[in-house]
DNA sequence: CGGTATCCAGGAAGATACTG
DNA sequence: CAGTATCTTCCTGGATACCG
């Protein structure tokens, strides 16, 4: 921990005009339904489309395509086509995608560690709502 | 790489049956449009509804209410009513909310540091799409 | 196999108006 | 001031069917 970036707090809270939107656009990509799952799946190496689809489970072809396109557009994932028959397409994390794994991994771990408390809080909140 | 994976990677990637959904629900809360902004705003201490609304800017009354309700439900934010006239309501981060600031701060910083590369990647991707 | 195209349902989100 | 209620629009995401 360098004293370089003082605290987590203020670095982002500062209202830079345009940057805020860009940061927000990255955040909402992470928050979407399948992105994190896909990134985690690709952590161990390249994977083919249907392989990815099977491993994730519950994702539609359309959504997986859209998710991968989004990740590719942002430079997190690279797409390699092999013009064989049948065709084969590999998806792989770029170095940028790899580096993204760190913060979302931390967030994932935080979520995992605090699920219990959150679920309890939700139940308590909902219970309060009923008897009023 | 130890065989003992203390690494960020696999901890979450493991498919625990129910936990995955709960983690995902937390992730999508973080990814929504206003949550992170609100949490960052409340970092420095309690704030009133309209104060929050002004500082954020561009958020509708309705969306701010919904966001705060969501955060309150999950136990990230506490809501304190003062039955004065005019009424006054303070929102404040709970200890749980405070602890959430760490991982989302890291994610925010990551995003902030990599905006440039991502924006470039998007432009390159979009440019590729035009001339084909 | 690895997509794209199309259609449709449901939720997210903004604008506006009203209330304690 | 701090909301709720309502209406409308937009976007997300699933199902299905078809193409190279």
Model confidence band, residue A92 (pLDDT cutoffs 50, 70, 90): very high
Cβ–Cβ contacts within 10 Å for residue B50, how many? 12
Where is pLDDT greater, at B120 or B23?
B120
Which CA-bearing residue is nearest the C1' of C20?
B87
Answer yes or no: is pLDDT of A1 > 50.
no
Task: Check CB contact under 8 Å for A122 and B75.
Answer: yes
pTM: 0.86
Q: What pLDDT band is residue A20 in, cutting at 50, 70 and 90?
A: confident
State how far residue A115 is from chain B, nearest Cα, in angstroms: 6
**CA end-to-end distance (rounded Å), chain B:** 43
Are the Cβ atoms of A125 and B73 closer than 8 angstroms? yes
User: Using the beta-carbon criterion (under 8 Å), do A99 and B105 form an inter-chain contact?
Assistant: no
Sheet architecture: strand order including B88-93: B47-48, B88-93, B77-82
Nucleotides in C strand less than 7 A from protein CB: 1-6, 12-17, 20
Q: Which residue has the higher pLDDT, A81 or B128?
A: A81
Which candidate, B37, B45, B38, places its Cα nearest to that of B68?
B38
For residue A107, give the nearest of B35, B120, B126, B106 by alpha carbon: B106
Closest chain B residue to A119, measured at CA: B74
Work out the pLDDT band at B16, boundaries 50, 70, 90.
Answer: low
Q: What percent of chain A has pLDDT over 70?
A: 84
Residue A75, chain B, CB below 8 Å: the answer is yes
Instruction: Answer yes or no: is pLDDT of B18 > 90.
Output: no
Chain A positions touching B5 (Cβ under 8 A) are none
Tell me if chain B has a CB within 8 Å of the CB of A56: no
Query: Does the pLDDT at position A30 exceed 90?
Result: no
* Res. B3 pLDDT band, cuts 50 70 90: very low
Q: Are A14 and B115 in contact (CB under 8 A)?
A: no
**Is B75 within 8 Å of A121 (Cβ atoms)?**
yes
Burial of B60 (0-12, 13-18, 19+ CB in 10 A): exposed
pLDDT in tens, A34-73: 999 999 999 999 999 999 999 998 899 999 999 999 999 9
**Per-residue pLDDT reduced to its tens digit, A65-89:** 999 999 999 999 999 999 999 999 9
Residue A44, min C-alpha distance to chain B (Å): 9
Which candidate from B22, B106, B121 shows the least CB-CB separation from A75?
Answer: B121
Q: What is the pLDDT of residues B36-93, one digit of tens each?
A: 999 999 999 999 999 999 999 889 999 999 999 999 999 999 999 999 999 999 999 9
As a dihedral over the C-alpha atoms of residue A94, residue A96, residue A102, residue A105, rounded to 10 degrees, the angle is -60
Task: Using a CB–CB cutoff of 8 Å, tell me whether A13 touches chain B.
Answer: yes
- Top residue of B30, B66, B132 to mutate, by most chain A CBs within 10 Å, is B30
Nearest by Cα to B93 from B45, B30, B31: B45
Region of B31 on the Ramachandran plot (φ > 0 left; ψ -120 to 50 alpha; else beta): alpha
Cβ–Cβ gap B27/A106 under 8 Å: no
């Amino acid at each position: 921990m360098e004293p370089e970036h003082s605290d987590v707090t203020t670095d982002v809270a500062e209202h830079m005009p345009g940057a805020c939107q860009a940061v927000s656009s990255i955040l909402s990509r992470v928050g979407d339904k399948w992105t994190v799952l896909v990134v985690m799946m690709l952590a161990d190496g390249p994977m083919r489309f249907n392989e990815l689809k099977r491993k994730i489970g519950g994702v539609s072809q359309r959504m997986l395509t859209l998710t991968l396109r989004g990740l590719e557009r942002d430079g997190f994932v690279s797409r390699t086509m092999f013009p064989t028959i049948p065709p084969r397409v590999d998806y792989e994390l770029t170095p940028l995608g790899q580096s993204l794994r760190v913060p979302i991994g931390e967030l994932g771990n935080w979520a995992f560690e605090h699920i219990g408390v959150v679920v309890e809080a939700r139940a308590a909140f909902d219970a309060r709502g009923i008897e009023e």
